[in-house]
Structure 1
Amino acid sequence: MSSTAAAAPFWRAAGMTYVSYSNLCANLVRNCLKEPHKSESLNREKVHFSLSKWANGKPEKPVLRSDTPDA
């Protein structure tokens, strides 16, 4: 049995997806860092993206979005 197969039941038993488990672990590591590395890593975790709706076969003006509440 591989270590991945052995670990999977624990996060699944907790009702988590792999992505949520991974994000939780990443946040724990970031919070353990000392400055200036902590603030640098917190800035890198922000994700920005744009969405474009399509109408009549053409994209409309893109809307910039972010997954962080402060941006």
Structure 2
Amino acid sequence: MSAPMPFWRAAGMTYITYSNICANLVRNCLKEPHKAEALNREKVHFAISTWKDGKAEKPVIRSDLAED
């Protein structure tokens, strides 16, 4: 007897993909000013460093919005 499979797995998605889709739907249903606050929290900040001769060069700080 096999255990039931979550529908997101049956659809070929990862849980992270499913979770992101759900979060976007919830954010789009919010009214202002809550929608603007939620979209502002969606921003992602990260640093990218290239490596040369076994040492990291100066990191580049990025601030991007997640793409739908």
TM-score by length of structure 2 reads 0.78
2:12 pairs with one of 11, 15, 20: 15
Structure with greater helix percent: 1
2:46 pairs with one of 46, 49, 63: 49
- Runs of 5+ unmatched residues, structure 2: none
Identity of aligned residues (%): 75
Runs of 4+ in structure 1 over 4 Å off: none
TM-score by length of structure 1 reads 0.75
1:68 pairs with one of 61, 65, 68: 65
Aligned pairs, how many? Answer: 64
CA 8–43 in structure 1, closer or farther in 2 if over 3 Å, else same: farther
- Runs of 5+ unmatched residues, structure 1: 1-5
What RMSD in Å do the two structures reach over aligned CA positions?
A: 2.1
Larger CA deviation: 6-15 vs 28-37:
6-15
Superposed, 1:28-39 pairs within 5 Å as 28-39=25-36
Q: Secondary structure at the match of 1:61?
A: coil
